[in-house]
Amino acid sequence: MRNDLRATVSGLRESEERYRRSIDSANDAIFAVDPVTLEILHANRKAAEVTGTADVAGHPFLDLHPTDHRARAREFLARVAAAGEGTLSDIDLCCHGGTRLPVSISASMIVHGAGRFVQLICRDLSERKRMERELVQAEKLSTVGVLAAGILHELNTPLAYVQANLESMGRVVRALPKGPATSALRTGLSDALEGARSASTIVRDLRIFARSRDEATETFDVNDAVRMALRMAQHELKYRATVMAELGEVPHVLGQATDLSQVFLNLLVNAAHAIPAGNVRQNRVHVVTEVVGDRAVARISDTGGGIPSEALPRIFEPFFTTKPEGVGTGLGLAISRDILRRIGGDIRVETKIGAGTTFIVELPLAAS
C-alpha cells in the first residue's frame, strides 16, 4: 500500500509538472487568480512577457488593467466565481512601456486539492484588430473608387467642351495680326489647351483603370500599361524623383492590360513613398522593359532607403505595411502578386539598405 501511495504521489507530481510546462509554453498569457482576494497566484512566461514583469505573483490582477477597464474586469471575475466559467470578448491589459494590449479572456474556476483558483487565458487581439481596421479602410477605398468612377464619367463631357472651345479660339487667334498681345494670347491658349488635353488623358486612363472586367486574358503591349501607370503616378513622383523610362521592344504579353497597369501603379507609388520629398534631382525612379528568354521583364527601381531585412519576408502578406497608419492598406503588393500569378507571371524584389529597391515583374509572352 505504501508503495502504491508513493507511486500515486509521484504520478501526481509528474502530472502537475507537465501541466505547468504546458501552461508556461502556451502562446497566450495565462494567469491563476485567487477568486476572493483577486491576487495573482501564478502566471506563465507569456504573461510575464506581456506585462514586462518577471514575477507578477502576489500582485492584484486588476492592476494589470487600465483604470477605465478595472470595473469591467472586477465584474467579470465575480461572474466567473459565481458561474464557474465565462468569457470576455474585449478588454485591455497594461503592457510594459505604458501601452495597452487588447485581449479576449476565457476564464474557468479550477479546483485543486482543497483550494481553488480562477484560470484566465488572455488572447492577444492586436493583430485581429489591425486587420479589421485595414478591411474597413479597404472598404472605404472601394467606395471612393466607385464614386470616383462616376465623377470621372461626369468630367469627361465638360473637358470635351473646354478642349473644343480652346481649339476653336486658337484658330481665331492664329488669324489675328501679329503683335505682343497676340503672341501672349497664343501662348496662354496653347498652355490651356495642353492642360485640358493632359486632364482628358488622365480621366481616360482612370476610367480604363476603374472599368469592370472579366477574367478572360488578352494580348496587349506591356509598354502601354507602363505608360498609363506612369501618367497616373505622376503626381506622386514629380516632387520626389526624376523618372527615367527605358521601354524596350517587347512583343505583346498575355493578361489584362488594366490589371497590369494596377500592378505597375502600385509599384510606382511604393517607389515614390520610399523617397523623401524635396530632392527631385538627386533621386531616381527607373523603369525598364525588356525580353529575357521567353519572358517579358519590367524592372521598377528607386533610390530610396531599401526594405529592412526583418520586413522583407512579409512584404507580400495581405495587410502588412511599413508605411505610417493611414498611408497604405498593405494590400498593394499582395494584390499585385496575385494578379501576376493568375496569368502565369511572377514578381520578386532586390533591395539594399541605403541603396534602394528594385521590383522585377515577369510576364508570359503571347504566342507569335
Residue 209, C-beta contacts closer than 8 angstroms, at least 6 positions apart? 228, 232, 258, 261, 262, 265
Say whether pLDDT at 326 is over 60.
no
- pLDDT-based confidence at 209, cuts 50/70/90? low
SS3 263: helix
Say whether pLDDT at 102 is over 80.
yes
Residue 120, C-beta contacts closer than 8 angstroms, at least 6 positions apart? 30, 31, 32, 33, 61, 105, 106, 107
Question: How many Cβ atoms are within 10 Å of 261's Cβ, its own excluded?
Answer: 24
Say whether pLDDT at 204 is over 80.
no
- Torsion (CA) 357, 349, 229, 302 in degrees, nearest 10: 10
Nearest to 235 by CA among 273, 264, 261: 273
Separation CA 290–CA 363 (nearest Å): 11
- What are the structural domain ranges in the chain? 2-124, 127-212, 214-368
What would the mean pLDDT of 282-297 be, rounded to a whole number? Answer: 94
Could you tell me the three cell numbers for 238? 514629380
pLDDT of residue 244: 95
Residue type at 288? V
Is 361 in contact with 345 (CB distance < 8 Å)? yes
Say whether pLDDT at 81 is over 80.
yes
Separation CA 30–CA 47 (nearest Å): 6
Distances (CA, A) of 48 to 22, 40, 43, 53, 126: 15, 12, 7, 5, 18
Separation CA 343–CA 321 (nearest Å): 25
pLDDT of residue 1: 67
Q: What would the CATH number be for the domain defined by 214-368? A: 3.30.565.10
Across the chain, mean pLDDT equals 84
- Torsion (CA) 195, 196, 202, 206 in degrees, nearest 10: 160
Higher pLDDT: 278 or 348? It is 348
Taking only the tens place, the pLDDT of each residue in 345-359 is 999 999 999 889 999
Beta-bridge partner residues of 124: 103
pLDDT of residue 357: 96
Could you tell me the three cell numbers for 131? 486587420
In this chain, the answer to whether the domains covering 127-212 and 214-368 adopt an identical fold is no
Q: Is 127-212 CATH 1.10.287.130?
A: yes
pLDDT of residue 194: 81
- pLDDT-based confidence at 114, cuts 50/70/90? low
Say whether pLDDT at 110 is over 60.
yes
Q: What would the CATH number be for the domain defined by 2-124? A: 3.30.450.20
pLDDT of residue 15: 54
Helix then strand then coil, in percent of the chain rounded to 5, is: 50, 25, 25
pLDDT of residue 223: 94
